Amino acid sequence: MGPPGAGKGTQAAVLSERLDVPHISTGDLFRDHVGGETALGVEVKRYLDSGKLVPDEITNEMVRERLADSDCNAGFLLDGYPRNVRQAQQLGAMLRELNGELDAEIDVVLELDVPEDELVERLLSRGREDDRESVIRDRQQVYRDETSALLEYYSDRLVTVPAVGSVDDVTARALDALRTRT
């Protein structure tokens, strides 16, 4: 977890490879289903084309299908999911259903922490037209507002890692933090 610009996608890809577990990105799931024209993909496309958020039920079902794949048996890394407490609760239920265990849950939630001014600089440097400072700061506030309850929900599994420095430095801190929690 982390705000826009924290390096979640970069770290998820690197950590997935280093830990030898699949990297499951909801953005990738959406693209795969839409591109493959699956029933869920048709639903996703309808929402995306109208500029609406994809409902939790559809996102949850895509994640459920992916977690049922055998390559997830030894673990996985989620990127972009869950985004709210309802999804987190559903994820717990999915894991219990898939694993047939009462205590099947997420082991660790890794939060990438970056000072807001650093995030603004990172996002401004991308040069995208919609990356104006006021818009970026608004997105950061929306992230904080929307995820505070989720961070609290996972507080007993939450590990916060400073995500400033080189990709390798952040990865090293993340791996150290994960080793102490698992």
Token pair of 175 as six digits? 């791996």
Vertex 9: Cα angle to 6 and 10 (nearest 5): 85
Catalytic-role residue among 126, 132, 157, 181 = 126
User: Is residue 83 annotated as part of the catalytic site, yes or no?
Assistant: yes
Give catalytic status of residue 45 as yes or no: no
Annotated active-site residue 137? The verdict is no
Residue 45 to residue 166: CA distance in whole angstroms: 36
Question: Catalytic residue among 64, 83, 86, 96, which?
Answer: 83
DSSP-assigned beta bridge partners for residue 19: none
In terms of phi and psi (left: phi > 0; alpha: psi -120 to 50; beta: otherwise), the region of 51 is left
Contact partners, residue 82, CB within 8 Å, separation at least 6: 88, 90, 91, 150
Q: Which of 128, 132, 144, 181 is catalytic?
A: 128
Q: Clarify whether 8 is annotated catalytic.
A: yes
Asked if 126 is an active-site residue, the reply is: yes
Which residues have a catalytic role annotated? 8, 83, 126, 128, 139
